[in-house]
């Protein structure tokens, strides 16, 4: 038989790569010979299969079209994909097109959205028009596209799809809402609602919640208007009562798919559910309005209170008593001689008041800060602290006033002597707006505001520089010299730290490379990694792909990680520990002994060097137990094949003890503070003479 006639042969089409690529994940693929009007073969397990090899295209299309419930779409599908149209499209130069439609039966509510595509080519060996027709399930994309925009703007906590006809619901959170999965994940709607009621709805509101969420109610309301919503309280997993708004709207009306989104509007309401007073938003709104409408703002002060060790109250006496304490604190503040204009609980055990300065009696304030709370015959002593901000005669946002009062509170040295502090501008230097810092980061990097300092690490037996730690400094054009202890946590909190760490890594590598190229002495430099770095693609890929090229002998760059990276390492992000080792870089476990997972880290991962936290070194002279612990840690590390660095040695006595205890390396002010590059180089070269 001649090849040309064997139209059934597999791969008879000369499919260009593009076509193969397009059809890779499709639900059904049919090869066509348009010139002859027949289907050649199909790759599909389901209803897309052709009946027989050689089935007519038109009869195939007619059969398939029965699954398109919407008449209009069905007709259009037949028109578009009938053999005659395929032929004339091809001849008029239109060799590929597609159409999307609902798919499935409205009776059983089996809902999908499909896209049918056709691609036509002229076969060079048969001289005929051939092509492929393929179907893709685009239900997920379709639903995602249908999701109303407001869902992304607002702070919706949960989104779900209810099929009101079949009374089932599919749930997910908006961050990872994979709508394409929804059909597989559905649960019985009634069971779901009852479970939700049981777990979250306060008893008094259960009946109304039940009624409001009934399928009939939802459908009836959605007949009347586009959106239906109601508000109810729910108790969250922390036992906190929150105000929730439920909103319903049709997602695909034809298939009875209703979208439900819940939003936490506790803050918006301005009220604190626990105390019945204002919450943060409420405080800000009302304070703003009072200050904007008074003749002299400077007659007011903003107070920030918190209860010392409130956590302990919760732990010792239970959450219920904790709640009672918070309520009573609110009531006492509200009724105190300070006569606050506005009292609010802005979060947890943090309270704010707007008071008139003429009522700001500091004896009363002191009395307020020391209270007794009695319940069931038990008495708890409560100590509060209060920061005071005098409102100034210049525009300032209320949340900045709260922040300033809060900063002042941090300056209280001894609450038993004076439990309050008034904000003054010298405190401003310490006032670093975290969000602001994060926003400045990119410019700061490009303008060279960051400088890498090097703190030498000394070989305990020779006294020579053995290595160094890279510590970053921010020379801020307005705020001056910023301590990493301030901006590192701020950048971690806002998620920008990796950008900086990558910068530091590159700087260190180019420093090493430069010296290496010129044949100058170098020592290994260690770089601090933040736990976030393990989740940062560009950081990881730079370390894994570019580090070796850029850092002289790769082994010269080392990495310090702390136990905060435990989770990231456990997830084995990029296999990072072993990859670093393969590159020849040593890995140090930093701040050993400062947290809770130090031993877990040691047990599960291999480190080359252990850095003993400064807090131990500090106590060498004063605490005999510390001396034993240190001796023990060093011995243990050696036994496990690690070397030991002790950090933060400041005195000769500390250094002597560490040397006696066979500590390998010592880092600390006793030898040197972190130095700018030039000074470090000087010290390094002296050490090598």
Let me know: does 559 contact 576? Beta carbons within 8 Å. no
Asked if 533 interacts with Ca ion (CB under 5 A), we say: no
Which of 558, 648, 655, 666 forms a contact with ligand C2E (CB under 6 A)?
A: 648
Asked if 501 interacts with ligand C2E (CB under 6 A), we say: yes
Kindly indicate which of the ranges 143-151, 278-286, 577-585, 665-673 contains the residues binding ligand C2E, using the contact rule CB under 6 A.
665-673
Residue 383 binding: pick among ligand C2E, Ca ion, none (C-beta 5-8 Å cut-off by kind): none
Asked if 528 interacts with ligand C2E (CB under 6 A), we say: yes
Task: Measure the CA–CA gap between 610 and 634, rounded to whole angstroms.
Answer: 9
Asked if 524 interacts with ligand C2E (CB under 6 A), we say: no
3-state secondary structure 134-188: EEEECHHHHHHHHCCCHHHHCCEEEEEEEECCCCEEEEECHHHCCHHHHHHHCEE
Q: Smallest distance from the beta carbon of 484 to ligand C2E, in angstroms?
A: 4
Which of 162, 457, 488, 512 forms a contact with ligand C2E (CB under 6 A)?
A: 488
- Residue 169 pairs in a beta bridge with 162, 187
Report which secondary-structure segment, H or E, holds 528. Answer: strand 525-528
Which of 590, 634, 665, 666 forms a contact with Ca ion (CB under 5 A)?
A: 590
Question: 357: closest CA among 412, 427, 442, 291?
Answer: 291
Q: Smallest distance from the beta carbon of 41 to ligand C2E, in angstroms?
A: 59
Asked if 679 interacts with ligand C2E (CB under 6 A), we say: no
Q: Smallest distance from the beta carbon of 170 to ligand C2E, in angstroms?
A: 41
Task: Measure the CA–CA gap between 20 and 375, rounded to whole angstroms.
Answer: 75
Let me know: does 191 contact 204? Beta carbons within 8 Å. no
From the number of C-beta atoms within 10 Å of its C-beta (0-12, 13-18, 19+), residue 159 rates as buried
383 Cβ contact list (under 8 Å, min separation 6): 307, 308, 309, 369, 370, 415, 416, 419
Which of 266, 279, 455, 585 forms a contact with ligand C2E (CB under 6 A)?
A: 455
Q: Smallest distance from the beta carbon of 538 to Ca ion, in angstroms?
A: 22
Q: Smallest distance from the beta carbon of 577 to ligand C2E, in angstroms?
A: 17
Which pair of tokens denotes residue 268? 């918006």
Judged by DSSP in three states, 277 sits in coil
Asked if 672 interacts with ligand C2E (CB under 6 A), we say: no
Asked if 528 interacts with Ca ion (CB under 5 A), we say: yes
Asked if 507 interacts with ligand C2E (CB under 6 A), we say: no
Asked if 504 interacts with ligand C2E (CB under 6 A), we say: yes
Asked if 590 interacts with ligand C2E (CB under 6 A), we say: yes
Which of 650, 659, 662, 681 forms a contact with ligand C2E (CB under 6 A)?
A: 650
- Residue 116 pairs in a beta bridge with 99, 135
107 Cβ contact list (under 8 Å, min separation 6): none
Q: Cα-flanking dihedrals φ and ψ of residue 522, to 5°?
A: -135, 160
Which of 218, 471, 577, 612 forms a contact with ligand C2E (CB under 6 A)?
A: 471
Kindly indicate which of the ranges 104-112, 305-313, 511-519, 558-566 contains the residues binding Ca ion, using the contact rule CB under 5 A.
558-566
In the stretch 359-378, what mask flags binding to ligand C2E with x, by CB under 6 A?
A: --------------------
Asked if 591 interacts with Ca ion (CB under 5 A), we say: yes
Q: Smallest distance from the beta carbon of 673 to ligand C2E, in angstroms?
A: 7
Asked if 485 interacts with ligand C2E (CB under 6 A), we say: yes
Asked if 484 interacts with ligand C2E (CB under 6 A), we say: yes
Task: Measure the CA–CA gap between 402 and 387, rounded to whole angstroms.
Answer: 9
Kindly indicate which of the ranges 276-284, 300-308, 525-533, 634-642 contains the residues binding Ca ion, using the contact rule CB under 5 A.
525-533
For the chain, the straight-line distance linking the first and the last C-alpha, in angstroms and rounded, comes to: 89
Kindly indicate which of the ranges 272-280, 302-310, 313-321, 589-597 contains the residues binding Ca ion, using the contact rule CB under 5 A.
589-597
Q: Which residues of 129-149 are buried (b: 16+ CB within 10 A; e: fewer)?
A: bbbbbbbbbbbbebbeeebee
Question: 337: closest CA among 311, 363, 299?
Answer: 363
Kindly indicate which of the ranges 15-23, 122-130, 591-599, 652-660 contains the residues binding Ca ion, using the contact rule CB under 5 A.
591-599
- Give Dmax over CA atoms of the chain in angstroms: 109
Query: In terms of DSSP bridges, do strands 227-235 and 241-252 run parallel, antiparallel, or are they unpaired?
Result: antiparallel
Question: 351: closest CA among 398, 414, 405, 425?
Answer: 405
Q: Smallest distance from the beta carbon of 443 to Ca ion, in angstroms?
A: 26
Q: Cα-flanking dihedrals φ and ψ of residue 382, to 5°?
A: -115, 130
Asked if 415 interacts with ligand C2E (CB under 6 A), we say: no
Which of 277, 322, 456, 668 forms a contact with ligand C2E (CB under 6 A)?
A: 668
Q: Which is nearer to ligand C2E, 536 or 590 (CB)?
A: 590
Rg (CA), the chain: 35
User: Total residues at the site for Ca ion (CB under 5 A)?
Assistant: 4
Judged by DSSP in three states, 518 sits in coil
Asked if 530 interacts with ligand C2E (CB under 6 A), we say: yes
Q: Note the residues at the interface with Ca ion (CB under 5 A).
A: 528, 560, 590-591
**Which residues in this chain contact ligand C2E in the complex, by CB under 6 A?**
455, 471-472, 483-485, 488, 497, 501, 504, 528, 530, 590-591, 647-650, 667-669, 674
């Amino acid at each position: 038989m001649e090849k040309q006639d064997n139209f059934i042969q597999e791969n008879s089409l000369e499919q260009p790569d593009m076509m193969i690529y397009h059809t890779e994940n499709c639900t059904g693929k049919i090869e066509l010979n348009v010139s002859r009007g027949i289907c050649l073969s199909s790759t599909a397990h389901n209803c897309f299969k052709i009946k027989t090899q050689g089935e007519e295209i038109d009869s195939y299309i007619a059969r398939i079209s029965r699954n398109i419930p919407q008449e209009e779409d069905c007709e259009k599908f037949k028109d578009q994909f009938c053999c005659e149209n395929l032929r004339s499209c091809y001849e008029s130069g239109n060799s590929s097109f597609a159409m999307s439609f609902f798919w499935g039966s409205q009776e059983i509510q089996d809902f999908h959205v499909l896209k049918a595509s056709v691609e036509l080519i002229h076969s060079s060996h048969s001289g005929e028009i051939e092509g492929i027709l393929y179907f893709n399930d685009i239900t997920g994309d379709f639903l995602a596209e249908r999701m109303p925009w407001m869902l992304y703007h607002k702070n919706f906590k949960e989104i779900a799809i209810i099929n009101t006809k079949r009374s089932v619901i599919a749930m997910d959170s908006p961050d990872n809402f994979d709508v394409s999965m929804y059909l597989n994940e559905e649960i019985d709607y009634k069971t779901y609602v009852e479970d939700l009621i049981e777990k979250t709805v306060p008893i008094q509101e259960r009946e109304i919640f039940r009624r409001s969420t009934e399928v009939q109610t939802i459908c009836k309301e959605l007949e009347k208007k586009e959106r239906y919503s109601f508000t109810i309280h729910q108790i969250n997993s922390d036992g906190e009562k929150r105000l929730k708004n439920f909103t319903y709207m049709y997602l695909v009306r034809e298939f009875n798919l209703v979208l439900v989104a819940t939003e936490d509007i506790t803050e918006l309401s301005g009220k604190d559910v626990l105390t019945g007073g204002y919450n943060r938003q409420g405080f800000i709104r009302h304070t703003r309005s009072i200050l904007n409408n008074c003749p002299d703002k400077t007659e007011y002060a903003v107070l920030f209170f918190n209860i010392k060790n409130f956590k302990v109250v919760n732990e010792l006496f239970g959450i219920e008593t904790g709640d009672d304490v918070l309520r009573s604190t609110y009531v006492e503040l509200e009724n105190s001689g300070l006569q606050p204009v506005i009292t609010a609980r802005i979060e947890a055990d943090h309270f704010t008041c707007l008071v008139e300065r003429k009522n700001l009696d500091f004896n009363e304030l002191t009395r307020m800060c020391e209270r007794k709370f009695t319940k069931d015959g038990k008495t708890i002593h409560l100590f509060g602290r209060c920061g005071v901000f005098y409102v100034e005669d210049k525009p300032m946002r209320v949340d900045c006033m709260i922040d300033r009062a809060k900063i002042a509170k941090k300056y209280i040295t001894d609450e038993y002597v004076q439990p309050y502090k008034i904000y003054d501008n010298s405190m401003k230097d310490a006032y670093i707006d975290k969000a602001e810092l994060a926003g400045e980061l990119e410019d700061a990097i490009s303008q060279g505001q960051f400088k890498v300092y090097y703190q030498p690490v000394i070989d305990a037996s020779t006294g020579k520089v053995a290595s160094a730690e890279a510590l970053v400094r921010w020379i801020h054009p307005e705020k001056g010299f910023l301590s990493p202890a301030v901006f590192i946590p701020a950048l971690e909190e806002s998620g920008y730290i990796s950008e900086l760490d990558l910068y530091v890594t590159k700087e260190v590598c180019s420093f090493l490379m430069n010296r290496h190229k010129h044949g100058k002495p170098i020592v290994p430099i260690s770089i601090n990694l933040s736990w976030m770095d393990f989740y940062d693609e560009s950081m990881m890929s730079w370390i894994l792909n570019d580090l070796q090229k850029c850092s002289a002998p790769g082994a010269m760059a080392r990495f310090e990680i702390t136990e905060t990276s435990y989770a990231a390492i456990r997830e084995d992000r990029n296999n990072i520990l072993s990859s670093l080792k393969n590159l020849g870089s040593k890995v140090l476990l930093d701040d050993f002994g400062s947290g809770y997972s130090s031993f877990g880290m040691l047990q599960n991962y291999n480190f080359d060097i252990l850095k003993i936290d400064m807090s131990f070194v500090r106590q060498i002279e004063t605490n005999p137990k510390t001396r034993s612990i240190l001796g023990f840690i060093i011995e243990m590390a050696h036994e496990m094949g690690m070397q030991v660095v002790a950090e933060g040695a400041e005195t000769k006595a500390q250094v002597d003890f560490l040397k006696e205890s066979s500590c390998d390396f010592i880092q600390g002010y006793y030898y040197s503070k972190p130095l700018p590059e030039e000074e470090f180089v000087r010290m390094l070269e002296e050490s090598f003479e």
